[in-house]
Amino acid sequence: MSVSELVRSVSEACQQQVEGLHVLAISDSSEINLQAHVGRLNPNGLGVVGNNQDKGFFIHPTLVVNAETGLPLGLSTIQLWHREVAHLDKHQRRYPNLPIEQKESYKWLLSAERSEPCLQAGGVRQVTHVGDRESDLYEEWARVPSVHRHVLVRVCRDRRLWGTQQSLYERLSEQPCAGTYSVQVLADPRSGRTAREAWLAVRMTPVQIQRPKKVSAKEYPDQVPLSAVEAKEINPPQGQEPIHWRLLTTHAVTSLEQALQVIEWYRWRWRIEQLFAILKQTGLDLESTQLESVDAIERLTILALSVALRILQLLVSRDDPTVPAQVAFSPQEQQCLMHLAPSLQGRTQKQQNPHPSASLPWATWLIASGMETGTIPTCVYTVAHKGRRDFEQYY
């Protein structure tokens, strides 16, 4: 199968999970660095990655998440691309003056555009496209939103506001604190961040951001009305960078409850970082592939993303008995699990599956039991640990 056919298959699987839901379409980019294998790789189609030296390519998937529960539902689209080995830098290309269609950042608009057929055919009720600071683009604010299509982005720059001398940051800073809430901060040795409970003050205000001068296309409006939300840590520990999020969204935010909901939606952007970690590190170790063809590695990447998604679904829902197994498993796979279930049950109460039949935690328990006993079913675990090897032997 070609890359486009594999992406279409992934999209069709996602389509089956979204009917009647409000979903978050979370997009982000990651590089597949193949520099360690460059001596044996076929150079055809091989570009450079983020440091403009190492060889590899980029991926930009869109992870669809239930906006009410945070449960990953599928991948609506996946983009892959290569940078030319001898490509010009941004200064040489006069990057700021290029139309968005000629910039790599066009990927954010393409994510929304290419996700639409999947989500619309699936009968989704509402979509909120979520991105990090790189996706804070005026073109996205102007082109993506509609009645049932929203955007939520972490602010990248202090934008000019329409009809005033104030900037976005100034406007937010002068707003009264609407309330506080606490979050558990995980340690990050790379940045020196310590684990702690952090208390954040929340502010919000309606704003109208002004069209930047460099965005000269006539089809863009002079201003776009949005809601701005700020969450800033109060009294961080000495030597620690305070948590400080500034968010812009097309959702109306007029209360603390709405502001906290927007913050929670943005926090669920972490799901796609978990997906990349499973793909490249803790789970599948994709960059250790022994394939020599870039085309085959690209196809492997799409398959591996599907497997990483399923593992993420199991991790997120392992303690939630309300999540049905059909979120992650096909009817045939569920039948297989049902068939194997009696042989995986132990004799004592502690060795019995404690989860409701046909729930996702029930399936996770069966897979774990199969791993322990050696009765490994043809399901997620088998695919995750053998799928790459089988693919590589075939190609």
Q: What is the pLDDT of residues 150-177, one digit of tens each?
A: 999 999 999 999 999 999 999 999 999 9
Same-domain check for residues 347 and 278 = no
Does residue 337 form part of some domain? yes
Q: Indicate if the pLDDT at residue 260 is higher than 60.
A: yes
pLDDT band at 38 (very low <50, low <70, confident <90, very high): confident
Does residue 83 form part of some domain? yes
Phi and psi at residue 130, in whole multiples of 5°? -115, 130
Distance of alpha carbon 147 from alpha carbon 66, whole angstroms: 19
Percent of the chain with pLDDT over 90: 66
Q: Of residues 290 and 43, which shows the higher confidence score?
A: 290
Find the domain containing 330 and state its range. Answer: 318-394
pLDDT band at 380 (very low <50, low <70, confident <90, very high): very low
Q: Of residues 356 and 350, which shows the higher confidence score?
A: 356
* 3-state secondary structure labels for all residues of 180-205: EEEEEECCECCCCECCEEEEEEEEEE
User: What's the predicted TM-score (pTM) here?
Assistant: 0.90
pLDDT band at 374 (very low <50, low <70, confident <90, very high): low
Q: Indicate if the pLDDT at residue 340 is higher than 70.
A: yes
**Which are the contacts of 51, defined by CB distance < 8 A and separation ≥ 6?**
none
Q: Indicate if the pLDDT at residue 212 is higher than 70.
A: yes
Which residues make beta-bridge pairs with 229?
204, 247
Tokens of 307: 């497997």
Q: Indicate if the pLDDT at residue 227 is higher than 80.
A: yes
Does residue 363 form part of some domain? yes
pLDDT at res. 382: 42
Same-domain check for residues 18 and 53 = yes
Distance of alpha carbon 347 from alpha carbon 18, whole angstroms: 39
Q: Indicate if the pLDDT at residue 385 is higher than 60.
A: no
pLDDT at res. 296: 92
Does residue 19 form part of some domain? yes
Strand 47-48 relative to strand 72-81, pairing: unpaired
Which residues make beta-bridge pairs with 39?
none
What is the tally of structural domains in the chain? Answer: 3
